[in-house]
Amino acid sequence: MGFVLVQFLTGLASASSLFLVAAGLTVIFGVTRVVNFAHGSLYMLGAYLGWTILSRLPGGPAWFAGGVVLAGLGIAAVGVLIEVLLLQRIYKAPELLQLLATFGVVLVVQDLVLKLWGPNDLTLSRPPWMRSFVQIAGERMPFYDLLMIGIGPLVLLALWLLFTRTRWGTLVRAATQDREMVAALGVDQRLLFTTVFALGAGLAGIGGALALPDGSANGQMDLTAITDAFVVVVVGGLGSLPGAYLASLLIALLQAFGIVLLPKITLVLVFVVMAVVLVVRPNGLLGRKLTLARGEANTLALVRPAEPALRWLGVAALLLAVWAPWFVGPFALSVMTEMLVAMLFAASLHVMMGPGGMPSFGHAAWFGLGAYGAAFAVKGLALSMPAALVVAPFGAALAALVFGGFVVRLSGVYLAMLTLAFAQIVWAVMFQAVSVTGGDNGILGVWPAGWASNPRVFYWLTLAICVACVLVLRRALYAPFGYALRATRDSALRAEAIGLNAGSLRLVALVIAGAAAGLAGGLAAFSKGSVFPTYISIDRSVDALVMVLLGGVQSMAGPVVGALAYTGLFDMLLMVTDLWRLVLGLSIIALVLVFPQGIAGTTYRLWLRGREA
Amino acid sequence: MKLYRRTFLASAATVAAPSIVRAQGDAPIRIGEINSYTAVPAFTVPYRNGWQLAVEHVNAAGGVLGRKIEVVSRDDAGKPADAIRLAGELVNDQKVDLLAGGFLSNVGLAISDFARQDRKLFVAGEPLTDALVWDKGNRYTYRLRPSTYMQAAMLIDDAVKLQAKRWVTVAPNYEYGQSAVKWFKLLLAAKQPGVEFVGEQWPALGKIDAGATVAALAENKPDAIYNVTFGADLTNFVRQGNTRGLFEGKGVVSVLTGEPEYLDPLGNETPTGWIVTGYPVNSVSDPANKAFIDAYMAKYKEQPKMGSVVGYALINAIVAGIKKTGSVDSEKMADGFAGSSFATPFGSADWRAIDHQSTLGTYVGKTALKDGKPVMVDWHYVSGADALPSDAEVKKMRPA
Amino acid sequence: MTILNVAGISKSFGGVRAVADVSFSVAAGEMLALIGPNGAGKSTCFNMLNGQTAPDSGRVTLQGRDITGLSPRRIWRLGVGRTFQITATFASMTVRENVQVALLAHHRRVWRFLRPAFAWFGAEADGLLAQVGMAEQASRAAGVLAYGDLKRLELAIALANAPALLLMDEPTAGMAPSERVALMRLARDLASQRGIAVLFTEHDMDVVFGVADRILVLNRGELIAEGDGPAIRSDARVRAVYLGSGATSGGH
């Protein structure tokens, strides 16, 4: 019995830690609708700044509390900087562009932390009070954990008072409901957003500093924290603080007892919880259906078929690409092969995100299933490469069909997070089933068939397949199917009233996108000769998102340009500088500011404007 | 660093000349090196210092085969797919004579498979997976560090001496953790009949829920604990374990924990008496080690870590192999490296012909605190040669 | 000929009766207005006809066929067009494409993946747009239209499935008074030309009395009067409801 009680209390302590990571994210999202990818980075900065401050202070509890608050204030200031210098300039940009911008911040912060604090994990020496414990039912319970159990609900209470008992809080809540009304009341919405962002960032900073006694400040904290935070926020319901606490409790307690019963469940548990919650409650535990924050539907630009000039540009690029193997070296050729695969991968996500209106944070699932499908086909079933390249898209499409039914019922960030949950579950299966998949060591020896083993031949094969698929996808989007799909995105109400079945349309779009991504994955497997769980990782999904957003979600030109630009930039930077994350991050931020509609989208608009003038 | 890098533009500029005839003569021998510099800086920064020092030493001594050596280094960002692309760049555009490096096992395996396909030599430094030289081994791949199996095997004698009956294990939930636990269980059961494994925990790498993990392990009422966690997970695990008294009165056997990379962050919370593999950099006294440590400290103003030793030994092992082969031809090196001996800070080691594993060993000892700083005591060096299975068993595992 | 027949439909929300035992019918070519003060149950009544809400009891038949409780999609298929109080069109498409999409749905040509959408039903779309006076704007983006034009576009979309019944929810809300009458005259002409039964809710009494053939008055969920303009104007209960509630001609 003692064990159960102590494990329960331990779960409560973990819940508080989770809540502190997530609270700021949900506050920021609830008001500004910004999907802040840099939240984990703020948490990590909080830990590092906290270390710098606390390792210079005496060890008493009061000093500790003061140091933590100071770290929180410091990170709040960082948050203000990010909001004023970056986000404020792009609030009017298409949804999710803020996500791209904050992803740039993530990269920049990683290198800054490495430069400022060095490569080693930094630990805070614990004074005796932090090491002390209380005997509960014959078991030792750390005093600091008991403290954490209290801190979570206290922060929740403080935030609740702040939002319900102050004028500022009332305005913020009003802004959450109806922005125009707040503007009409003569309140400076910009200042409101800046303060909200500062509060969210400060909470992340406090969370990071409070994690120090349990471990260390290290360079991996940001990505761990951001996934945890997103899961908690989504499970709880976007923008709901009590929901976030409830979700933290649910996850932490299931984790605490889950690892006793099934020790290997650690990789998937949170994602299974999230998937189940979203399937049962599409808006999270305590979330409400999201209202359109900015009336996006009315700001959608007209989608036009490509201008003749653009078509000729495409034909010229294609001819150049066909000709390329005669004048570029083998390495440049391998980079170009990679770019083509990335192009198809990004184009497949565009089908979902653009006309489908379904942002996905887990698109790598289909890519990875295709890659593994091809690898199993070659290694397990001894099929030929062409047969494996048929298995790849079909395998991915089948999974998309089975899983898609749950996805298409959701919308917005919830939908995106359910795809992430699915991707993480697939990832965990590939990662953990070592006997079948080799685990993280992957499946090796998936090299192209003899006739395609020459890099030039494989390049042409990839070029033919990828360009053909992108053109077919594009064609489908301009065919009745694509228009009907876009209709369900533009106005669900009207689409329903003219007899369009949004569910089937979106499901078919998802299956098509899955098949295309799966084919890209199959090609990637052969071009690299191996498959690894990294093909399904969050990084890979983020890559796809970045490529689509960087290029622009408006038309198929977006993902194509985005994929070429991002892959090229990344591959080049990786060779040129140790600080590639810093440079890549700054480049992304600059591109977001210069091309708020994506590179292709903004260029096209400017060109149109030039012609009209 | 900039010295060893070529810009993308430069490599793109080689497009016009598909196959440059390389001036043999006195042009430097080029080693293409790939590692997870940004993904695992705690290991790779000291590692890079180590190989840079070795390159200086080798070139100061006149190089090898009358030529200097040069390292072209790349960051794989922790992703095998990027490592493969970079391997292609190094081989095709940079015209390196061989490939080297790696930290993550999957990156090591990816490069080794590329090496097999491209018939280029790959000398892996750190990747620990057994597969690299055994069931996925190939003619072109050599590996320096003691593998997961060897690390576990080196600890077995001391583990048996604990005479503990009930064991629990805690390991990160991926291939390395699974292999480390699998070998330890097999080897211990063989040497100590009747041993029981009464519980296991598999925290996700980098995401340990330390409090719950410690409590769950304690609930199994073990006599001894086998730990494979490292890095940030280890710090969290040790802190919760200390407060909750998990380690009191129990034997703990822990892989890699004595390496300065992982031991130093534990600070004054380092539990004493853990049986660990590692590098007692503060107390080694043999001349080779002292000379290395002194040279390293003179150049970098800090003590070397395990990564530094791996980086330094990697270059020496490559140079020795080239010297014995007398050529940088890939096929010749693939045969010629086998059986060569090379000097390392830990003493001399060999490249085994049977599986291309080096016999570089590591130190086994106990953790302790000295003036509030973590150290290894009661250590002894275990040669890799003493921690490997019989040749017959190796032959069974390695594809012909 | 009776197009729509409503027999005794009722709906309660959490014990509150929103619509109680309402019956009426609409004939082909007839303009029937459904009016009543705020909260009278107009919207609930409307939603039970278009499939948004299922009635607790009663029957709705369209051209003799029972459509009670069917989904909006099925009801559209059976020949019911709709316009919304707040316009709902496809902003990323041109005016013509908006109508084309509706035509594609009507002709069941949605699951076509190759032939470009602009090649489908272009002439038919232009014909519909001409009928609502939007031919000249066919190539403009729907997202940039003036409000009155959006309403007319909606009307064209609603006509795309050659409906037997047109449901118009507050069709003139948000329009300038001069535009209101013009739009409803247009609807009226279309109704009589094509023999469409039109049921609409409306706040503007000038519009109601100007174009409706017949008027239904709802109050607190119950039908309190039915008849033509003069009859309704002189109905004592209607006067009581409207004067009592303070509403006057002109709506909002």
Q: Note the pLDDT of residue A77.
A: 98
**A375 and A499 fall within a common domain:** yes
pLDDT class for B24, splitting at 50, 70, 90? low
CA A215/CA A23 separation, integer angstroms: 21
Percent of chain A with pLDDT over 70: 97
Q: B82: which chain A residues are within 8 Å (Cβ-Cβ)? A: 574
Specify whether the CB–CB gap between A439 and A433 falls below 8 A: yes
Q: Which residues contact C151 (CB under 8 A, 6 or more apart)?
A: C83, C87, C171, C172, C175, C183
B182, two tokens: 């699998």
User: Which whole-number Å values give the CA distances from B23 to B69, B94, B95, in the listed order?
Assistant: 14, 14, 11
CA B314/CA B99 separation, integer angstroms: 11
Specify whether the CB–CB gap between B28 and B64 falls below 8 A: no
Minimum Cα–Cα distance from A573: chain B residue? B8
| C94-117 per-position pLDDT tens digit | 999 999 999 999 999 999 999 999
Say if residue A1's pLDDT is above 90: no
Residue the block writes with tokens 């700054």: A586
Assess C78–A contact: CB distance below 8 Å, yes or no.
Answer: no
Assess C64–A contact: CB distance below 8 Å, yes or no.
Answer: no
**A216 and A318 fall within a common domain:** no
Instruction: Please indicate, yes or no, if residue A237 is contained in any of the structural domains.
Output: no
- Residues 119 through 138 of chain C touching chain A, CB cutoff 8 Å: 120
| B165-182 per-position pLDDT tens digit | 999 999 999 889 999 999
Size of interface A-B (CB pairs under 8 A): 231
Amino acid at A375: A
B with A: 3 or more CB pairs under 8 Å?
yes
CA A540/CA B81 separation, integer angstroms: 11
pLDDT class for C16, splitting at 50, 70, 90? confident
B with C: 3 or more CB pairs under 8 Å?
no
Burial pattern A104-125, b for ≥16 Cβ within 10 A else e, equals bbbbbbbbbbbeebebbbbbbe
pLDDT class for C17, splitting at 50, 70, 90? confident
Specify whether the CB–CB gap between B114 and B84 falls below 8 A: yes
Q: Quick check: B201 and A259 CB within 8 A? A: yes
Q: How many CA atoms does the CB half-sphere of B299 hold within 13 Å?
A: 18
Mean pLDDT value of segment A589-600: 89
Say if residue B15's pLDDT is above 50: no
Partners for B (CB, 8 Å, 3+ pairs)? Answer: A
User: Going from the N-terminus, what domains does chain B have, and what CATH number goes with each?
Assistant: 2-146+286-360 (3.40.50.2300), 149-283+363-397 (3.40.50.2300)
**A215 and A318 fall within a common domain:** no
Q: Note the pLDDT of residue B22.
A: 45
Assess B113–A contact: CB distance below 8 Å, yes or no.
Answer: yes
Q: Quick check: B106 and A122 CB within 8 A? A: no
B189, with CB counted inside 10 A (0-12, 13-18, 19+), is middle
Total tally of structural domains belonging to chain A = 2
Q: Note the pLDDT of residue B318.
A: 97
| A74-108 per-position pLDDT tens digit | 999 999 999 999 998 888 777 688 888 999 999 99
Q: How many CB atoms lie within 10 A of CB C114?
A: 11
What φ, ψ does residue B380 adopt, rounded to 5°? -145, 155
Assess A308–C contact: CB distance below 8 Å, yes or no.
Answer: no
**A224 and A323 fall within a common domain:** no
Q: Note the pLDDT of residue A541.
A: 94
Q: Note the pLDDT of residue C127.
A: 94
Q: A500: which chain C residues are within 8 Å (Cβ-Cβ)? A: 73, 101, 105, 110
Instruction: Please indicate, yes or no, if residue A264 is contained in any of the structural domains.
Output: no
| B271-306 per-position pLDDT tens digit | 999 999 999 999 999 999 999 999 999 999 999 999
Q: Quick check: A480 and C82 CB within 8 A? A: no
| A532-549 per-position pLDDT tens digit | 999 999 999 999 999 999
**A333 and A199 fall within a common domain:** no
Size of interface A-C (CB pairs under 8 A): 111
Say if residue B13's pLDDT is above 50: no
DSSP-assigned beta bridge partners for residue C25: C5
Assess C82–A contact: CB distance below 8 Å, yes or no.
Answer: yes
When the pLDDT of each residue in chain A is averaged and rounded to a whole number, the result is 91
Q: B15: which chain A residues are within 8 Å (Cβ-Cβ)? A: 327-329, 332
Note the helical H segments in A55-125: 61-85, 97-117
Q: Quick check: B243 and A142 CB within 8 A? A: yes
Say if residue A570's pLDDT is above 60: yes
A198, with CB counted inside 10 A (0-12, 13-18, 19+), is buried
Assess C104–A contact: CB distance below 8 Å, yes or no.
Answer: yes
Mean pLDDT value of segment A18-33: 91
C139, two tokens: 């190539």
A27, two tokens: 């506050």
CA A555/CA B105 separation, integer angstroms: 40
Note the helical H segments in A178-290: 179-184, 189-210, 221-236, 241-261, 269-280
Q: Quick check: A478 and C116 CB within 8 A? A: yes
Instruction: Please indicate, yes or no, if residue A544 is contained in any of the structural domains.
Output: no
Burial pattern A321-352, b for ≥16 Cβ within 10 A else e, equals beebbeebbbbbbbbbbbbbbbbbbbbbbbbb
Instruction: Please indicate, yes or no, if residue A359 is contained in any of the structural domains.
Output: yes
- Shortest distance between the Cα of A392 and any Cα of chain B, in A, equals 18
**A217 and A343 fall within a common domain:** no
Q: Note the pLDDT of residue A601.
A: 83
pLDDT class for A296, splitting at 50, 70, 90? very low
When the pLDDT of each residue in chain C is averaged and rounded to a whole number, the result is 88
* Domains of chain C by residue range: 2-89+145-245
Q: Strands C165-168 and C197-201, how do they pair? A: parallel
Assess B192–A contact: CB distance below 8 Å, yes or no.
Answer: no
- Shortest distance between the Cα of C57 and any Cα of chain A, in A, equals 23
Q: Quick check: A255 and B212 CB within 8 A? A: yes
Q: Note the pLDDT of residue A190.
A: 84
Q: A486: which chain C residues are within 8 Å (Cβ-Cβ)? A: 90, 92-93
Q: A302: which chain C residues are within 8 Å (Cβ-Cβ)? A: 92-94, 141, 143
Range of the domain at A62: 2-231
When the pLDDT of each residue in chain B is averaged and rounded to a whole number, the result is 91
Note the helical H segments in A479-598: 480-490, 492-497, 502-528, 538-551, 557-576, 580-594
A53, two tokens: 């401050």
Instruction: Please indicate, yes or no, if residue A574 is contained in any of the structural domains.
Output: no
Q: Quick check: C113 and A476 CB within 8 A? A: yes
Say if residue A242's pLDDT is above 90: yes
DSSP state of A291: P
Straight-line distance from the first to the last Cα atom of chain C, in angstroms, rounded to the nearest whole number: 35
Q: Note the pLDDT of residue C87.
A: 83
A490 closest CB neighbour out of C91, C111, C118: C91
pLDDT class for C18, splitting at 50, 70, 90? confident
Where a domain ends, among A475, A509, A537? A537
- Shortest distance between the Cα of C164 and any Cα of chain A, in A, equals 14
SS3 assignment for C44-74: HHHHHHHCCCCCCEEEEEECCEECCCCCHHH
- Residues 148 through 207 of chain C touching chain A, CB cutoff 8 Å: 157, 160-161
Phi-psi region of C70 (alpha: psi -120 to 50; beta: other; left: phi over 0): beta
DSSP-assigned beta bridge partners for residue B351: B358
Pick among C85, C89, C90 to test the A interface (most A CBs inside 10 A) = C90
Q: Note the pLDDT of residue A399.
A: 96
CA A233/CA B337 separation, integer angstroms: 55
- Shortest distance between the Cα of A572 and any Cα of chain C, in A, equals 37
H-helix or E-strand containing C178? helix C177-194
pLDDT class for B9, splitting at 50, 70, 90? very low
pLDDT class for B10, splitting at 50, 70, 90? very low
What φ, ψ does residue B303 adopt, rounded to 5°? -70, 145
Least confident of A63-72, A332-341, C74-83: C74-83
- Shortest distance between the Cα of A477 and any Cα of chain C, in A, equals 8
Say if residue A441's pLDDT is above 80: yes
Q: Quick check: C157 and A486 CB within 8 A? A: no
CA B399/CA A319 separation, integer angstroms: 45
| B237-277 per-position pLDDT tens digit | 999 999 999 999 999 999 999 999 999 999 999 999 999 99
Q: C82: which chain A residues are within 8 Å (Cβ-Cβ)? A: 497
Q: How many CA atoms does the CB half-sphere of A208 hold within 13 Å?
A: 40
Q: Note the pLDDT of residue A188.
A: 80
Instruction: Please indicate, yes or no, if residue A243 is contained in any of the structural domains.
Output: no
Reduced to 3 states (helix: H, G, I; strand: E, B; else coil), residue B72 is: strand
CA C136/CA C132 separation, integer angstroms: 11
Specify whether the CB–CB gap between C152 and C163 falls below 8 A: no
- Residues 335 through 364 of chain B touching chain A, CB cutoff 8 Å: none
Q: Note the pLDDT of residue C246.
A: 46
CA C71/CA C75 separation, integer angstroms: 6
Instruction: Please indicate, yes or no, if residue A363 is contained in any of the structural domains.
Output: yes
Instruction: Please indicate, yes or no, if residue A549 is contained in any of the structural domains.
Output: no
What φ, ψ does residue C167 adopt, rounded to 5°? -105, 120
Where a domain ends, among A515, A537, A559? A537
Percent of chain B with pLDDT over 70: 94
CA B344/CA B310 separation, integer angstroms: 9
Specify whether the CB–CB gap between C61 and C242 falls below 8 A: no
pLDDT class for A300, splitting at 50, 70, 90? low
Say if residue A295's pLDDT is above 80: no
| A112-161 per-position pLDDT tens digit | 999 999 999 999 999 999 999 999 988 899 999 999 999 999 999 999 99
Burial pattern C118-145, b for ≥16 Cβ within 10 A else e, equals bebbbeebbebbebbebeebbebbbbeb
C110 closest CB neighbour out of A299, A305, A484: A484
A214 closest CB neighbour out of B86, B136, B239: B239
Q: Which residues contact A316 (CB under 8 A, 6 or more apart)?
A: none
Where a domain ends, among A502, A521, A537? A537
**A82 and A221 fall within a common domain:** yes
Task: Please give the CATH number for the structural domain made up of C2-89+145-245.
Answer: 3.40.50.300
Assess B120–A contact: CB distance below 8 Å, yes or no.
Answer: no
- Residues 30 through 49 of chain B touching chain A, CB cutoff 8 Å: 37-38, 41-42, 44-45
H-helix or E-strand containing C180? helix C177-194
Q: Quick check: A332 and B11 CB within 8 A? A: yes
CA B266/CA B247 separation, integer angstroms: 15
Q: C161: which chain A residues are within 8 Å (Cβ-Cβ)? A: 498-499
A72, two tokens: 């929180």
Q: Within its chain, how far is the Cα of B191 from the centroid?
A: 26
CA A208/CA A346 separation, integer angstroms: 34
